[in-house]
Chain A
Amino acid sequence: MKIQHVIKPETLREALIALGDYKGESEVIAGGTDLLVKMREGHNRYSTLIDISDVPEIREIHETEDTFEIGAAVTFSEIVAHEGIKQAFVGLWEACVSVGAPQIRNKGTIGGNIANASPAADSVPPLMALEAVLLIGSAIDSKRVPLSQFFQGKGNNVLQPGEMILKIILQKAPQKHKNVAFAKLGLRNALAISRLSVAMTLTLDDNNQIVTAAVATGSLGLVVMREPLIEAFLIGRVLDDALIEETEAQFSEVVETRLKGRSTCEFKKEAIKGITYTVMKKWMAQEGMTC
C-alpha cells in the first residue's frame, strides 16, 4: 500500500496520541528495515505511518538495581555498544551483533524485531530465554506482557490498534550461574538470516545440577518459542558433556516431531544437534566451566 502520510512525533505522548487518533489506519515505523521491504513488495497494511524512531523516551537503555529497561526504538548498534548489556547478557549481545550488517543494525530496533513477529528474529530467542517482559502502551494506559505471550502466529502479535511496545524489561540475574547463551546457524557470516537458533539460560546449584532452565528457539515454527520439553529434560540433571549429548538427541526428537512432513525436517533435526552443542558449550564457557 502506498504511503500517504508520515507522522513524526517528538515525544512519547505525541506518539501515543497519534496512535490513538489513527487507530486502525496506521502502523508504527521505527528503523524501517523490515517495513520498507514489505512496502516494496506491497505487503504493508496502512497508508499512514507513525515514525517513532526519534522519540527520546524510548531511545534509551536504562539500568536499575535489578533490571535493564531497553527502549523499543533502541537500535541494535546501540545495544552492541552497551557495555552493561554485554556484561549481563552475552547471548543477547551476540544475537544483536549477528543481525544483518552494520547498516541494518544502525537502523533496526529491538522493538521492531519483536513486533515484526518473525520466527527468524535474532534478538527474540535470547530475550525469551531471559523471560523478558514488554511494557506496552497506548494513549490511555499501559500494561506489562511477558514476551512469551506476545506472539500470535507468524507476523502477528497481541498489540491492539493504538498500542505499541514501549520498553523491554529484563531482570538481572538474581544469582550466580544464570546467563544467556545464544547460537545461530546462518548461511554466511554477515547478512545471514537465521535458519536455526537457540538461546538458553540455566541456573545451577553448587553441584552443577540444573535448577532452572529457559530454552527458546528461532526458525523452528511459526514464531520464536520456549521449548518446555527440553527445559523439563534439563532440570535436575548435572551439566556435563554427557548431558550435552543427551540434550542433542532430545532436541532432535522435538524438532522431528514438530517439523514432520516438511522439507526442512531432515536437515533441521540433525542441525539442531550442532546448535545445541554450541549453545551449551558457550554457556559453560561463559560461566568459566570447562569440561
Chain B
Amino acid sequence: MSLQKPFITVGKSERRKDGRDKLTGKALYPQDMCLDNMVFGATVRSTEPHAKFTLDLDAAHVCEGVLKILTAKDVLGHNHHGVLFKDHEVICKEKVRRVGDPVAFVVAETEEQALYAAGQVKVHYELLTPVLDPEVALQEDAPRVHDNHSNLVYHYKCRRGDLKNVYENAAVVVERVYDTPFVDHAFLQPESGLAYKEEDGTVVVLASTQYPHFDRMEVAEAIGYEEGKVVIINPIVGGAFGGREDLSMQAHLALATIYTGRPVKMTMAREESFYAHSKRHPIKIKMKSAADADGKLLACEAEIIGDTGAYASWAINVLRKAGVHVTGPYEVPNVHVDSRSVYTNNPFAGAMRGFGATQVPVAYEQQMDLIGEALGLSPYEIRKRNIFRKGSITGNGQVLVESVPLERCLDTLQEAMTAEPMAMSPSPDVKVGRGIAVSWYGTGYGNGYPDVSVATIELCKNGDINLRVGATEVGQGSKTIMPQLCAEALSMTPENIHILCENTNDFEDSGTAAASRQTYNTGNAVKVATESFKKALLEEARLLLKLNSAAGLVLEHQEVYLPMLPSKRIHFSEVAKALEAEGRTLMVTESFTAQTVGMDSETGEGAPYWPYTFNAYGVEVEVQIKTGRVQVTKAWCAQDVGRAINPALVEGQIDGGFVMGLGYTLYEDLGVKGGHIQNNKFAKYILPTAMDIPIINKYIIEDPENTAPYGAKGIGEPVMVPVAPAILNAIADATGVRIYDLPATPDRVLKALVAHRNQNVL
C-alpha cells in the first residue's frame, strides 16, 4: 500500500473567497446596483387561481412617469419558458392558471411610479373553476389546468419482485398515510434584477440565478434574440435552495430595456417574492411496509402524489427522485411504487433542497420505527438489519459498488447519542424523547440525462491561474471549493486561483447549481481540466528548461522545478511570458459527464443516480404536552461526505440543512388556501431563529468515492433530508403520539395528544 501524499489544500477549512466582501458590506447584490438613466419595472400579477382575463390599461397609461406597459403582445420572441416543459407564459395572454401569474409589466421613471401604475392596471376576470386538490385533478371530469396537456404530468413506476403472498407471510405489516405542505425557500435576498443594452445591441440581464446559461437560452427565446446577443451576469446570490432555477423577472427586464432603450431595474418586496418563485412540492405518501420476524424488510409499497401547481417546473425530476428514494436506504426484495406529479391551480412547485427526497423520509423513516416497535427492536437495530452496504442492490436494481458508509454513520450516531444520557424532564408537563433517522440521496440530474460540466484553466501573465467555470456561487461555497480543487492539482495555494463564474461570456455551460451536483460533477471537470493543464504546463516548462523529459518535474509555489537539480526551475509567470512572446497562451478546457442509466418506464430498472450520499441524524426533543409545543434541544448529525474538501463549509451545510429541516418539521407552512398563499410574509411564515436551534453535534464521515474529485460527494441537499423524520420519531418517543402530517405545530401535536388521551380513557 502506498503512502498518500498529504494534501495541500483539500481537507483544509480555507477562508471563503467571498467572505471579506460580504462581511464589510461591499458585496453587491442586484438590489445594490444602479445605472445612469435607469428606470423601474413592476409586475401586475393575477389575483385569481384560474380565469380568463382582459386588461384595461387606460388608467395606468396616464399615470405619472409611465413609459411602457408590457403585455403578452409585446413579447418579441416565444411567449413561454420553463425548465422541463415550456408551460409558463412570459406574460399571460388570456388565461391565468394561478394566483401570481404575471399579466402585465409596467415600466416607469421611478420605482414608486411603477408600483403605483401597476396598481392602476385593471384586470377583468372571467372566472373558471379552479382545481386545487391533486387527487381531484386526476379525475376524468376535472377542469384542465393546461388545455393541451392532461393534469397528470408524470407517472414513475417501480416494480421489483412480487407482492403476492408477502403480506400474508409477514410478521409485521405497517400501513400509513403521510402528508407534507407547500413550503418556501425563503432565501433572504428577495428577487432583484437589472437589464440594459450594450452599444452593439447585446442585451445584458443581471439577476441572481442558479443557472446563468439556461437563463440566457430562455431570455433569448423570449425576446427573439440569438443566444450570442444575450449576456447573463449573476452577481452575488443571496441564497437560492432551488428557488432561483425558474425565470422570475429576467425576460420581463430584457423586454423592458429593449422597448424603452433604458436600463431597467426591479426589486421585489418579500410578499411578491413568495409568489414569484417555485415552492416545495406538497407530497402525500401512502405507504405499506412488511417485515419478517427478524425485522428484515420484505416489501415496500408506496403511492406518492405530488402537487406541482400550475406549472411543471422540475415536477418530473422531483417526483422521480421521491419515487426512487421512498424505499429508504434499505435492501427490500419486493418494491411497488407509483409516483405521480399533477397540475393544479395552486402556486407552482419546483426545486427545493432535497428535490422529492426530502418529503419521502417523513414516511419511510416513521415506517421503520413502527416496524421496530412492533417487533421489539430498537430504532438502531431495525435499521442495522436492513441498511445498504457496499454491494447492496436498490429497488431499481442498481448495485451500490462503493462508498456506502451508512453503517459507519449509524454506528457513529449511536455511540455519540449513547454517550450522552437523555435529559431529565424539567417539568411534569414536559416529556423528553429521542429519535433517529437515516437517509440517502442520489446526486445529479440523473436517469441517464447527460449531466455535463465544463471547466477551463488559463495561465495568467503573473503566473496566477484563471479558473473559468459555471459553478454558481449561491452561498454554498463553490467559489472557494473549485479553486481548492484546482490548486490541489497544481500543488499551489488557492489564493492565486481566480475563479470566473458570474458572466456567461466568461465560461461555458456547467449546468445548474442544484441537485448537490456542483462539487461532484463540476468539481470533476475542474480536476480533469487542471490535470490536462498541468501536463501542458509541464511540457512548456520542459522546453524552456531545456530538458529531455518532463519526468520527475515537480510543481511547488507556482514554480516547476527538478528536485535532482533544483536550479532547473521556472516560475509560472516566466512560462506565461515566454508563451506571450510567441503569441500564445496556455488554456485548457475539459468536461466531465456523470454516469447514470435511464430507468425502464414500466419497471423502474436502471441506475438513476450516482453517487449516493448517506447520513444518520438523531435529535432530542422536549414536548409540552399541554400546549403541543415542541422544542428540539440536541442534535447529532453523522454525515457521509466522501471526502470533505473544506470541513468548515461542510459543517456550515450540516448546520444550515439541519435548521431548514427543523423549520420544515415544526413551523413552516405557506397556508395555501383557494390558491392564495396566506403566509406570504415573514411575520406569518415562521422561520427558525437563533433561539430555536439545538446544540448541533457534527460528525463528518469520510469514505472517498472513486469517481469523485478527491473522493468528495455532494452534500448540500442530503443534510436536510433526515431531519424531519428524526424529529417526528422523537416526538413519538416522548409522547407515544405519532405525527403523520407536517408541520408539527402546537395545534397539530396537541390535537393528536388529546385524541390519544381520550382513546386511552375509553
Contact = CB atoms under 8 A, between A and B. Distances in A.
Interface in A162-207: 185, 187-191, 193, 195
A273 interface: yes
A188 B747 contact: no
Contacts of B427: 281
A9 interface: no
Given A187-B746, A188-B667, A193 B683 contact: yes
A187 B745 contact: yes
Interface stretch (B285-293, B602-610, B688-696): B688-696
B629 A185 contact: yes
A35 to B, nearest CB: 15
A273 B626 contact: yes
B626 A271 contact: yes
B568 to A, nearest CB: 63
Contacts of B405: none
Interface string B529-573: 000000000000000000000000000000000000000000000
B686 A188 contact: yes
Nearest to A278: B429
Nearest to A189: B691
B330 to A, nearest CB: 34
B243 interface: no
A270 interface: yes
A187 B686 CA distance: 8
B627 A271 contact: yes
A267 B751 contact: yes
Nearest to A275: B627
A274 B626 contact: yes
Contacts of B746: 185, 187, 195, 267, 271
Interface in A238-268: 248, 266-267
Contact of B750 (A37, A187, A270): A270
A190 B691 contact: yes
Given A267-B747, A271-B746, A271-B750, A190 B626 contact: no
B521 interface: no
Interface in A266-291: 266-267, 270-271, 273-275, 277-278, 281
A242 to B, nearest CB: 14
Interface string A86-110: 0000000000000001000000000
Contact of B754 (A188, A193, A270, A281): A270
B745 A274 contact: no
Contacts of B624: 274
Interface residues of B, number: 23
A9 B627 CA distance: 46
Contacts of A273: 626
Interface string A35-53: 0010000000000000000
Main secondary structure on B side of the interface with A: loop
A101 B689 contact: yes
Interface in A107-160: none
A237 to B, nearest CB: 20
B628 interface: yes
Contacts of B683: 37, 193
Nearest to A185: B627
B689 A271 contact: no
Nearest to B683: A193
A101 B754 CA distance: 32
A61 B174 CA distance: 63
Given A270-B754, A271-B750, A277-B429, A189 B626 contact: no
Given A270-B750, A270-B754, A271-B750, A189 B689 contact: yes
A188 B689 contact: yes
B340 to A, nearest CB: 31
Given A271-B626, A274-B626, A190 B690 contact: yes
Contacts of B627: 185, 271, 274-275
B384 to A, nearest CB: 35
A271 B626 CA distance: 6
Contact of B689 (A190, A266, A270, A278): A190
Contacts of B750: 267, 270-271
Contacts of A281: 427
Contacts of A266: 751
A274 B430 CA distance: 10
Contacts of A190: 689-692
Interface string B608-637: 000000000000000011111101000000
B621 to A, nearest CB: 14
A189 B692 contact: yes
Contacts of A187: 667, 686, 745-746
B362 to A, nearest CB: 20
B378 to A, nearest CB: 31
Interface in B423-467: 427, 429
Nearest to B269: A40
Nearest to A196: B627
A266 B745 CA distance: 14
Given A274-B429, A278-B429, A188 B691 contact: yes
Interface in B727-762: 745-747, 750-751, 754
Nearest to B750: A270
A172 to B, nearest CB: 30
A190 B691 CA distance: 6
Given A187-B667, A266-B751, A267-B751, A277 B626 contact: yes
A185 B667 CA distance: 14
Contacts of A267: 628, 746-747, 750-751
B115 to A, nearest CB: 11
Interface string A212-226: 000000000000000
Contacts of A191: 689
Nearest to A266: B751
A189 B688 CA distance: 9
A273 B750 CA distance: 11
A289 B554 CA distance: 77
A139 B689 CA distance: 44
A4 B626 CA distance: 50
A184 B448 CA distance: 54
Contacts of A270: 626, 628, 750-751, 754
Contacts of B747: 267
Interface in B692-711: 692
Given A187-B746, A189-B631, A270-B751, 6 more contacts: A187-B667, A248-B626, A267-B628, A267-B751, A270-B754, A274-B629
25 contacts: A101-B689, A185-B627, A187-B667, A188-B688, A188-B689, A188-B691, A188-B692, A189-B631, A189-B692, A190-B692, A191-B689, A193-B683, A248-B626, A267-B628, A270-B754, A271-B626, A271-B627, A271-B750, A274-B624, A274-B626, A274-B629, A277-B429, A278-B429, A278-B626, A281-B427
Interface of B: 427, 429, 624-629, 631, 667, 683, 686, 688-692, 745-747, 750-751, 754
Which 7 A/B pairs are nearest by Cβ-Cβ distance?
A274-B626, A274-B627, A189-B691, A190-B689, A190-B691, A267-B747, A271-B627
